[in-house]
Amino acid sequence: MEQWKSITDCEAFAALKRCAQSPLDLTEPGNLNPERLLHFRCSGPEFDLLYGCQRVTSEVLDLLQTLTDECRVVEQFREMRRGTVMNCIHGWPSEERQVLHTACRDLFSGVPACPSATKQAGKELAKLKIFLSDVDNGVICNERGESFVNLIHVGIGGSDLGPRSIYEALHAYGKKGRQVYFISNVDPDDAAAVLDGLDLSRTLVLVVSKSGTTLETLSNEILVREALREAGLDAAKHCLAVTGESSPMDNPKRYLRSFHMYDYIGGRFSSTSMVGAVMLGFALGYDQVMEFLEGAAMMDEAAEEENIRSNLPLLLALLGIWNHNFLGMSSLAVLPYSQALHRFAAHLQQCDMESNGKSVQRNGEDLTLQSGPVVWGEPGTNGQHAFYQLLHQGTEKVAIEFIGFRLCQRGRDMEIHGTRSQQKLVANLLAQSLALAIGKNDENPNMRFPGNHANSLLMGERLTAKSMGALLALYEAKVVFQGFCWNVNSFDQEGVQLGKILAGRILSAMKGEGEEGTLEKAVLKAAEME
């Protein structure tokens, strides 16, 4: 494996540190002018990035360009797409895998970056197209000849958060009469809440686990299978699987259909694989799935541009580096002004924090600077009546990424008090971005707004399947670019393993114990085990 640089090894790092000692003051009269707002703008597939409210100058942008060039960030992204092993730690045992989630949507390229992986993705999509056609045409139906109208998606982590957020985002385009439900938490109340009152005879169950051994998912699958049995139904005629080839779940005796995902696709990057495509295909139809994949493919291609001012995900990533590592912002709020994206921040929490929540470089050495930030967020305008107080006048330093759309998704709007609701939504979005940047002086200290809160705005025309694919791929690329800058392995998740091991020990210790003292004894036994 090649020894890649961290940004701390770059000559531009010291110059950026000096610039950060006196960053642009957005509250100074004249600094935030129309010329700046027009100039600090980057256009990419489906979105424009408006970053005039970031505390950057042309000098800082030039240095960030030099930083990415020295780290060869775009070159690494290209190599990743073409099959170079990127999931590894040099000199230490690690997963040693390719990272090819981009191959799932590379069918739209005349020359795919990694033809072998894209061919596998195409094969699964062909299987999906046939399956969806059979469901639509009644070839696949229940024992009474009735069509399936419900689908329960059973997964956890990357097998749930991404697909769930995308389904919620695109629910407006769903096929009439179709509904998707999600079960993820091993808490039995999660499954019970979905199963209660649902007509299981007209329900498909999609179980998603790459290994076929995920504890929470298998437990929930058993609960659902038991519910099917109690309803007098044959689970094998209702259950579908998305899993690794030859996994324990790749079993035609137990599943109506099986779709494959591969080791080179990490869970949190799997939404454009069969992990998301099967559910989306049932809910929206095959054509909408292809539009979703096309949007993602367009952003992947755009991410290979070397010029930071023209590469939307790269620019967003480096603005994040500037805010986090140079201006000391340890938290990032992603605030979509679209109710349809109300679960998107939850997906980004995993995608970002599981990828870059690392303290060891790819050469096995400790990091000497902060890696990934804490990521959180909720939709506007609801958030304005909740946590925006802290953003405007609190003591925490929070970087902010707004997401908005010029047009509403469903087209149901009306004029109220002289403006439409979508206009009110966009006006609030623009006002918050501006207010956070410029602040307000006041003799009354309680009415004073300090300003200088760095923020960017991603603005799209309308939230569609294509723009959702582009948005997803944009943030995936952003996370990957930042991981390359910190020289961490963004593609493993060793940090979750210890808890799993201890949970297994506690479960073993619980077996055979009486009710009294069960929890205390189990914890003590688990702690004593080698």
**String of DSSP letters for 252-308:** TTT-SEEEEE-TTS-GGG-TTSHHHHHHHHHHH-HHHHHHHHHHHHHHHHHTT-S-T
Q: Helix axis angle, 58-71 relative to 312-321, nearest 10°? A: 100
H/E element holding 133?
A: helix 115-136
- CB hemisphere CA count around 234 (13 angstroms): 10
Please report, for residues 227, 372, 497, 508, 528, the alpha-carbon distance to residue 503 in angstroms, rounded to integers and kept in the order given.
26, 26, 10, 9, 13
Q: Could you tell me the fold of the domain covering 7-71+305-492?
A: Rossmann fold (3.40.50)
Domain covering 114-294 assigned CATH 3.90.1150.10 in the classification? no
DSSP tag of 96 = -
Model confidence, pTM? 0.96
Q: Which carries the bigger pLDDT value, residue 513 or residue 254? A: 254
Contact 313, 9 (CB under 8 A): no
Residue 214 makes CB contacts below 8 A (sequence gap 6+) with 155, 156, 159
**pLDDT, tens digit, for every residue of 452-472?**
999 999 999 999 999 999 999
Please check the confidence at residue 1 and state whether its pLDDT lies above 80. Answer: no
Average pLDDT over residues 98-123: 94
Q: Where are the alpha helices (DSSP H) in 357-420?
A: 388-393
Looking at residue 339, its pLDDT comes to: 98
How high is the mean pLDDT of the chain?
95
3-class SS at 85? strand
Please check the confidence at residue 79 and state whether its pLDDT lies above 50. Answer: yes
Looking at residue 270, its pLDDT comes to: 97
Question: b/e string for 119-152 if b means 16 or more Cβ within 10 A?
Answer: ebbbebbebbeebbeebeeeebebeeeeebebbb
Alpha carbons 96 and 103: distance in angstroms, whole number: 18
Looking at residue 510, its pLDDT comes to: 82
Question: b/e string for 216-232 if b means 16 or more Cβ within 10 A?
Answer: bbbebbebbbebbeeee
Is 385 considered catalytic here? yes
Alpha carbons 158 and 163: distance in angstroms, whole number: 8
**pLDDT, tens digit, for every residue of 361-383?**
999 999 999 999 999 999 999 99
Contact 200, 237 (CB under 8 A): no
Average pLDDT over residues 131-156: 97
Identity of residue 511: K
Looking at residue 2, its pLDDT comes to: 62
Q: Give how far the C-alpha of residue 451 lies from the chain's centroid of Cα atoms, to the nearest Å.
A: 29
Pairing mode, strands 41-44 and 47-50: antiparallel
Ranges for all domains in the chain classified under CATH 3.40.50.10490: 7-71+305-492, 114-294
Alpha carbons 140 and 147: distance in angstroms, whole number: 8
Residue 196 makes CB contacts below 8 A (sequence gap 6+) with none
Is 354 considered catalytic here? yes
Nearest one of 486, 504, 492, 501 to 87, comparing CA atoms: 492
3-class SS at 154? strand
pLDDT confidence bin for 64, thresholds 50/70/90: very high
**pLDDT, tens digit, for every residue of 280-327?**
999 999 999 999 999 999 999 999 999 999 999 999 999 999 999 999
DSSP tag of 174 = P
- CB hemisphere CA count around 131 (13 angstroms): 21
Cα angle, residue 92 at apex, residues 91 and 96 outer, rounded to 5°? 95
Please check the confidence at residue 30 and state whether its pLDDT lies above 60. Answer: yes
Please check the confidence at residue 332 and state whether its pLDDT lies above 90. Answer: yes
Average pLDDT over residues 30-38: 95
Own/partner pairs, 17-20, CB within 8 angstroms, 24+ separation = 17/326, 19/57, 19/59, 19/60, 19/63, 19/326, 20/322, 20/326, 20/327
Q: Of 176, 253, 385, 511, which one is the catalytic site residue?
A: 385
Is 500 considered catalytic here? yes
**pLDDT, tens digit, for every residue of 145-197?**
999 999 999 999 999 999 999 999 999 999 999 999 999 999 999 999 999 99
Q: Of 39, 123, 440, 500, which one is the catalytic site residue?
A: 500
Asked if the peptide bond before residue 381 counts as cis, ω within 30 degrees of 0, the response is yes
Nearest one of 385, 378, 420 to 403, comparing CA atoms: 378
Q: Of 168, 354, 401, 476, which one is the catalytic site residue?
A: 354
Alpha carbons 373 and 147: distance in angstroms, whole number: 46
pLDDT confidence bin for 523, thresholds 50/70/90: confident
